[in-house]
Amino acid sequence: MTINGPAPTILALFLNTAIDQQIEKFEQENQRPPTDDEIEKIRAWTLSTVRGTVQADILKEDQGQNTCIFSTEFSLRMMADIQEYFVHHNVRNFYSVSISGYHIAEAGANPISQLAFTLANGFTYVEAYLARGMHIDDFAPNLSFFFSNGMDPEYSVMGRVARRIWATAMRFKYGANERSQKLKYHIQTSGRSLHAQEMAFNDIRTTL
């Protein structure tokens, strides 16, 4: 879900919808409403298995889009609240944030600056969550990344460089396990690399 400022509200709606769907499925299969104990089991199972991603990257909102609706301090606290909920309710297959360099690149950053800002934001979230008392291996697997991919040669190695830096820091600075060391990222074609001039060649530019 590409949503940032309202992310807690939209995420709550999404998770509650997933739970409601499973309760409805139970009613259809068993021809009766579930008991309170069964509802709790359905809720726990749904939260532990539901998959998805919410962007919720409030730092890039400030850096790349200038669309913050809350202060940085409040936003970090709100993001930590979400991650703490994920930890306490065993939400293991849903990414609580998509740490985004794409928007920073679209705002003018070159590939190196995009990577530097994005990783710095990622480590800021790590430090904020650790300060809340969460353990690195309880939340690091819920972090994901989102990069822009343009035509500059640096883009061909950006993913490998990001993964190496992240894994090294996770292992040696934070003592994280192997799963937490893995940087998962999504990449999209840079809109900034496309041109109004000779528009018909944009498909070729993108492919190359």
Tokens 């999209």 belong to residue: 188
In a domain, 6, yes or no: no
In a domain, 156, yes or no: yes
Distance of CA 40 to the CA centre of its chain: 27
Q: What residue numbers bound the domain in which 88 lies? A: 49-207
pTM of the model: 0.89
In a domain, 14, yes or no: no
In a domain, 8, yes or no: no
In a domain, 18, yes or no: no
Residues 6+ apart with CB under 8 A from 93: 48, 49, 50, 51
pLDDT digits (tens, 9 = 90+) for 100-154: 998 999 898 999 999 999 999 999 999 999 999 999 999 999 999 999 987 788 8
In a domain, 32, yes or no: no
By the 10 Å C-beta count (0-12 exposed, 13-18 middle, 19+ buried), 176 is classed as buried
pLDDT digits (tens, 9 = 90+) for 19-51: 999 999 999 999 999 999 999 999 999 999 999
In a domain, 12, yes or no: no
Query: How many structural domains does the chain have?
Result: 1
In a domain, 138, yes or no: yes
